[in-house]
Chains A and B, each alone.
Chain A
Amino acid sequence: MSSTNIQLPSAEDLLQTIAQKLQPLLQTNLALVGIQSGGVWLMERLLVLLENDIKTNAIEHGTLDVSFYRDDFVSRGLKAENRPSQIPFEVENKHIILIDDVFYTGRTTRAAMNELFDYGRPASITLVALINRGGRELPIAPQLTAMDIALDASQNLQLIQDAEGKLSLQLISSITQTNQVEL
Chain B
Amino acid sequence: MNNPQLDADGRLRHLLSIEGLPKKILNQILDTAESFVGVAEREVKKVPLLRGKTVCNLFFENSTRTRTTFEIAAKRLSADVISLNVNTSSQSKGETILDTVDNLIAMHADMFVVRHAQSGAAHFIAKHVPNHIHVINAGDGRHSHPTQGLLDTFTIRKYKSDLHNLRVAIVGDVLHSRVARSEIHALTTLGVPEVRVIAPKTLLPAQVEKLGVHVFHDMKAGLKDVDVVMMLRLQNERMNGAMLPSAQEYFKTYGLTQEKLSLAKPDAIVLHPGPMNRGVEIDSSVADGSQSVILPQVTYGIAVRMAVMAILAGGG
Task: Report which A residues bind B (CB closer than 8 A).
Answer: 65, 67-69, 73-74, 76-78, 80-87, 91, 114-115, 117-120
Contacts and interface: CB of A to CB of B under 8 A. Distances in A.
A67 B36 CA distance: 11
Contacts of B46: 118
Contacts of A85: 35, 38
Contacts, number: 51
Given A73-B49, A83-B35, A85-B38, A118 B314 contact: no
Interface stretch (B26-34, B82-90, B199-207, B228-236): B26-34
Contacts of A65: 35
B37 A78 contact: no
Given A68-B49, A69-B48, A118-B44, A78 B34 contact: no
B93 interface: no
Contacts of A73: 49, 313-314
Given A68-B310, A76-B314, A77-B316, A82 B49 contact: no
Given A78-B32, A119-B44, A84 B316 contact: no
Nearest to A111: B48
B47 A78 contact: no
Interface in B19-57: 28, 31-32, 34-35, 37-39, 42-44, 46-49
Interface string B215-242: 0000000000000000000000000000
A68 B316 contact: no
A85 B313 CA distance: 21
Nearest to B24: A80
Contact of B34 (A74, A84, A91, A120): A84
Contact of B37 (A68, A84, A115): A84
Given A68-B310, A77-B316, A82 B48 contact: no
Nearest to A86: B38
A84 B315 contact: no
B44 A80 contact: no
A81 B24 CA distance: 12
A86 B42 CA distance: 10
Nearest to A80: B28
B311 interface: yes
A29 to B, nearest CB: 18
A84 B35 contact: yes
